[in-house]
Amino acid sequence: MNGFLKTSQLPYCKGCGHDLIAKKSAEALEKLEYAPLDVIVVTDIGCHGIIDKCLNTHTVHGLHGRSVALGAGISFGIENPGKKVLVFIGDGGSTIGLQHIMEAARLNLNMSVVVHNNMLYGMTGGQTSGLTPRGFCTTTSADGNPFAGYDICELAHTAGAAYSSRIMGVGDISGELTEAFSVEGFSLTEIMEICPSYGVKLNPRRKLAEIVESSGRKTGVWKNERTGFVLEQGKKCNDLMEELKEVENDFPARLKGNLSLVLSGSAGEGIQSAATLLAKAAMRSGCHVTQKGSYPVTVGVGFSTAEVNISTEPINFHGIGVPDVAIITSEDGLTHSKKRIEGMKGGMLFLDDSLDAPSTGAEVIKRDFRSVGARSACLYAVFYFAMHTKLVDTEAIFMTIEESGMAAKMPLDKIKEKIQA
Amino acid sequence: MQKTSNERKVLIDGSRLITESMARAGADSFIGYPITPANLLYLYASRRMPLMLSAPDEITTLQWMSGLSATGKIPVTATSFPGFALMIESVNMAFMMELPMVIVLVQRLGPATGTATCGAQGDIPLLKGMISGGHQLPVLCTSDFNDCWKLSAKAVHLAVELRTPVVLLTSKEEVMTQKSFSTGVLDAIEPVSRSFYRGKEPYRSYNVERDELVPPFLPVTAGKWQVRLNASTHDKNGILQHSNDEAIGNTVRLERKARETLSGYTFYELDEQEGAGTLLVSYGITASAARDAVKRMREKGKKVSLLVPKTILPAPAIYSEIIGKYKKVVIAEENINAQFADLLFGTRIPSSISIVGSAGRMITPPEILNEEECV
Ligand code: SF4
């Protein structure tokens, strides 16, 4: 017994390797001169996890298979390098939480993991795990596991762990554990054991060393020369309100009441940015606005539709069923908004002249919107709408573009020429 | 109240308000992974939060958050049903360990992956039943930009004060739609004040003074006292127990914690008109349609009151009390199974109540008005 353990009577079945692991881990921590409260032991479900009450360290007892991820979270939160995160997990838990081990190894998080590999789920009744070797008998594969188990050390090593090791859970393993626990970064130590209650009973006459050897596993240490994970220091924290540009109210009011617009075209043709420009320009005349986009899951193909509400009153509900104005600049957009256009009993439809107007009650206004290039077709249409209806100030749109710094990327002269023609 | 900044008119979305508000309230870390329609929160958090980590999956997200919370951080994540479903066991863990954190749940159309870019209000039954044993954790729901600002900060405060995960419920249309907005109306946000255990006796992670319901917190990085956190049934020391009196007492305290402190976080908006016999009830995104419906009715000279519940779980009794005072009640929500009415009344929904629901689209003000006229 040492300062890390409250008792030498650990709560395991007689002959269980977990007893040795707990005691030798405690010795290793002592050799490394940690104080018990410098250490956070994270355990999960499985026989290894009942060690908590015997420890003088901080203890965190989590969900089956998740102790590595939980320990990772603790490791991220520790600013003091004098602290040690030690994770205990079984072969069953390692199967369940394999991804967590890979991730912690990939990031080389500062923590040590001890995999108690007794080749089956002990606490739940001796079932096969992902680390059960081929031929090993369990309660759920009575004739022997037909599949080979994962090589957890190789996986951790390949993922980037600074240190992976496999040792036999017999004799004085405190030296090996001391080495593993002293690693800067991620160390994983797989300790081979056999569960007397299930493993021994179900595999009589087999010896641990022979089982390990016949499964092709070797003891050893595998290293990656890496420094341990370091959190980005002095990360910039932008004030999200301050970084937003104020929209000035510097144009006279144009609109009276509400106006709802649907802008529809193809993905990548600047529909959303044209809608934002329109919304901001309307704000400059003191209007309230809303703007939302909708597009298929793959944002680079198919339709792109934006909905804009402009109102002299504050807007609560921002949904648009049938709009007052539709601006359509491509076939994709027309297909997507066709039903709405057909539902229009009045209002205006601004349509690229390559497209056929569906039957609609809206006044149809056709123009060569795409002639300024597909990427600017919607912007041209927005300008044309503003010029034609005088509901939004074209100058306000120009100024909004100037201030956004996007002017150089847009064929503004061409658009000006077109709308003045 | 001191205002945050001078009146500035901006074009803004709810995700930005939520993220900034939480950061100002004291949330200091964000664990993100991509899921529509919560991606803007992830993006903003990457620019705003002092600690920002990208997790490989949803279970890892909640586990990392729990670990961070155990060290004294206040972590946040944002997700939608498909991700949230995967987090639930770990949310139970955080609930049982009593770890402060906030999960922003952005509702979208289900079932399963449903439609990622289509809003919905379909997750109340899930939230009500997510903790095994039927225990509740606080769920606050935003109904407009002011809520995105105020309730997000409240969620952070509540998580710390009650030592619990808190869900901030919202939906696609609230966090992805940009609206013109005057920042001048936003109140200054108080950062949460955090105090850790300072007692002279050894710390016991789940010990409370006689009448208290929330045990003091101490991070696992503490040097003076041992800290034990446990997801399994445990005693006041945090040691696993099968079902002894002390351990079951602890679980009973967890049940009482959220419910008996509820009056301290019962948030709702009640716009009562004298003499009104009709009440509209709506929460979340549909509240905006209900506000318009109320406006139109009053313009027509009709008397009507409006209730917008913001604390959804545990369900405050005051809602059914208010509803009980009206002859005619219309509850509108974006699902087709009357989830809020079910939460309050179960299968015995009073005959005074009629329901407006929808799937895959927002409920409009005229739909609410029509229903009101039909009742
Ligand atoms: S069941 Fe097996 S693993 Fe569990 S304590 Fe007993 S011997 Fe050890």
Residues 254-283 of B with CB under 8 A from A: none
Tokens for B105? 């749940």
Nearest to B220 by CA among A1, A68, A231, A80: A80
Whole-number average pLDDT of chain B: 96
pLDDT score at A301: 84
Determine the 3-state secondary structure of A294 from DSSP. Answer: strand
In a domain, A236, yes or no: no
Tokens for A122? 């002990």
Check the CA dihedral A90-A95-A97-A99 and report its sign.
positive
Cβ(A47) – ligand 1 distance below 6 Å? yes
Kindly report the CATH number that applies to the domain delimited by B9-185: 3.40.50.970
Contact criterion met (CB below 8 Å) for B304 and B280: yes
Say yes or no for a CB contact (<8 Å) between B67 and A71. yes
Distance CA B344, CA B350 (A): 10
Say which residue the tokens 């030592």 belong to.
B163
A293 in the same domain as A189: no
Q: Does any CB of chain A come closer than 8 Å to the CB of residue B176? A: yes
> For residue B223, which residues of chain A lie inside 8 Å, CB to CB?
37-38
Whether residue B31 has pLDDT greater than 70: yes
Whether residue B375 has pLDDT greater than 70: no
Q: Does any CB of chain A come closer than 8 Å to the CB of residue B296? A: no
A203 in the same domain as A115: yes
Which pLDDT band holds residue B222 (cuts at 50, 70, 90)? confident
Say yes or no for a CB contact (<8 Å) between B64 and A69. yes
Query: How many domains would you assign to chain A?
Result: 2
Q: Does any CB of chain A come closer than 8 Å to the CB of residue B365? A: yes
Say yes or no for a CB contact (<8 Å) between A283 and B226. no
Cβ(A51) – ligand 1 distance below 6 Å? no
pLDDT score at B6: 57
Distance from CA of B348 to the nearest CA of A (A): 31
Q: What is the CA radius of gyration of chain A?
A: 34
pLDDT score at A81: 83
Whether residue B1 has pLDDT greater than 80: no
Distance CA A133, CA A146 (A): 9
Cβ(A362) – ligand 1 distance below 6 Å? no
Distance CA B70, CA A73 (A): 8
What values do phi and psi take at A54, rounded to 5?
-90, -5
Whether residue B2 has pLDDT greater than 90: no
Distance CA A138, CA B290 (A): 61
Residue pLDDT, tens place only, B282-300: 999 999 999 999 999 999 9
Nearest to A383 by CA among A346, A414, A406: A414
Q: Where are the alpha helices (DSSP H) in A6-53?
A: 17-31
In a domain, A315, yes or no: yes
Contact criterion met (CB below 8 Å) for A340 and A322: yes
Q: Which of A188, A223, A258 delimits the end of a domain?
A: A223
Contact criterion met (CB below 8 Å) for A168 and A183: no
Global pTM value: 0.96
Residue pLDDT, tens place only, B52-72: 999 999 999 999 999 999 999
Tokens for B151? 């309730």
Check the CA dihedral A349-A352-A357-A358 and report its sign.
negative
Cβ(A117) – ligand 1 distance below 6 Å? no
Ligand 1 atom closest to residue A198's alpha carbon, by position in its atom list: 2
Contact criterion met (CB below 8 Å) for A44 and A66: yes
In a domain, A239, yes or no: no
The single-letter DSSP state of residue B12 is: E
Neighbours of A384 (CB within 10 A): 19
- The complex's ipTM works out to 0.96
Kindly report the CATH number that applies to the domain delimited by B269-374: 3.40.50.920
Strands B51-54 vs B29-32: parallel, antiparallel or unpaired: parallel
CA nearest to B286 within chain A: A317
Check the CA dihedral B306-B310-B312-B315 and report its sign.
negative
Distance from CA of A69 to the nearest CA of B (A): 6
| Parent domain of A322 | 245-420
Mean pLDDT of B223-246: 96
Distance from CA of A240 to the nearest CA of B (A): 6
Distance CA A352, CA B363 (A): 32
Report how far Cα B139 is from the mean position of its chain's Cα atoms.
3
Q: Does any CB of chain A come closer than 8 Å to the CB of residue B336? A: no
Say yes or no for a CB contact (<8 Å) between A237 and B65. no
Q: Does any CB of chain A come closer than 8 Å to the CB of residue B229? A: yes
* Residues with pLDDT less than 70, chain A: 1, 297, 299
Residues of CATH 3.40.50.920 domain(s) within chain B? 269-374
Kindly give, in sequence order, each residue whose CB lies less than 8 Å from that of residue A32, ignoring residues fewer than 6 positions away: A84, A178, A181, A182
Say yes or no for a CB contact (<8 Å) between B8 and A103. no
Picking from B4, B8, B228, the nearest residue to A52 by CB comes out as B228
Picking from B10, B71, B295, the nearest residue to A244 by CB comes out as B10
Residue A297 is part of a domain; what is its CATH number? 3.40.920.10
Ligand 1: which residue has its CA nearest to atom 8?
A16
Whether residue B196 has pLDDT greater than 50: yes
Instruction: Tell me how many helices (H) and strands (E) chain A has.
Output: 13, 13
Residues of CATH 3.40.50.970 domain(s) within chain B? 9-185
Contact criterion met (CB below 8 Å) for B129 and B240: no
Distance from CA of B363 to the nearest CA of A (A): 9
Residue type, B100: P
Report how far Cα A296 is from the mean position of its chain's Cα atoms.
21
Calculate what percentage of chain B has a pLDDT beyond 70: 98
B114 burial (CB, 10 Å; 0-12 / 13-18 / 19+) is middle
- In the reported structure, the alpha carbon of residue A121 is separated from the centroid of ligand 1 by a whole-number distance in angstroms of 9
- The DSSP bridge partners found for residue B304 are B278
Say yes or no for a CB contact (<8 Å) between B63 and A73. yes
Distance CA B268, CA A131 (A): 53
Q: Exposure string (b/e) for A16-54, b if CB count within 10 Å is 16 or more?
A: bbbbbbbbbbbbbbbbeebebbbbbbbbbbbbbbbbbbb
Whether residue B13 has pLDDT greater than 50: yes
- The DSSP bridge partners found for residue B11 are B180
In a domain, A180, yes or no: yes
Say yes or no for a CB contact (<8 Å) between A70 and B63. yes
Distance CA A274, CA A278 (A): 6
Q: Does any CB of chain A come closer than 8 Å to the CB of residue B196? A: no
A187 in the same domain as A267: no
Say yes or no for a CB contact (<8 Å) between B221 and A83. yes
Check the CA dihedral B331-B333-B339-B340 and report its sign.
negative
A186 in the same domain as A99: yes
pLDDT score at A80: 82
A202 in the same domain as A58: yes
A160 in the same domain as A120: yes
A292 in the same domain as A347: yes
Mean pLDDT of B291-317: 97
B81 burial (CB, 10 Å; 0-12 / 13-18 / 19+) is buried
- In the reported structure, the alpha carbon of residue A210 is separated from the centroid of ligand 1 by a whole-number distance in angstroms of 20
Contact criterion met (CB below 8 Å) for A292 and A306: yes
Side-chain half-sphere CA neighbours of A303 within 13 A: 18
A252 in the same domain as A215: no
A373 in the same domain as A288: yes
Between the alpha carbon of residue A91 and those of residues A53, A169, A209, A399, B357, the distances in Å are 22, 14, 17, 65, 49
pLDDT score at A406: 87
Say yes or no for a CB contact (<8 Å) between B240 and A52. yes
Nearest to A94 by CA among A179, A192, A168: A192
Neighbours of B275 (CB within 10 A): 7
Say yes or no for a CB contact (<8 Å) between A76 and B51. yes
Tokens for A421? 């023609």
Mutation to test the B interface, candidates A240, A315, A404, most B Cβ within 10 Å: A240
Determine the 3-state secondary structure of A126 from DSSP. Answer: coil
Ligand 1 atom closest to residue A116's alpha carbon, by position in its atom list: 3
Picking from B60, B65, B364, the nearest residue to A317 by CB comes out as B364
- In the reported structure, the alpha carbon of residue A65 is separated from the centroid of ligand 1 by a whole-number distance in angstroms of 17
Mutation to test the A interface, candidates B63, B101, B132, most A Cβ within 10 Å: B63
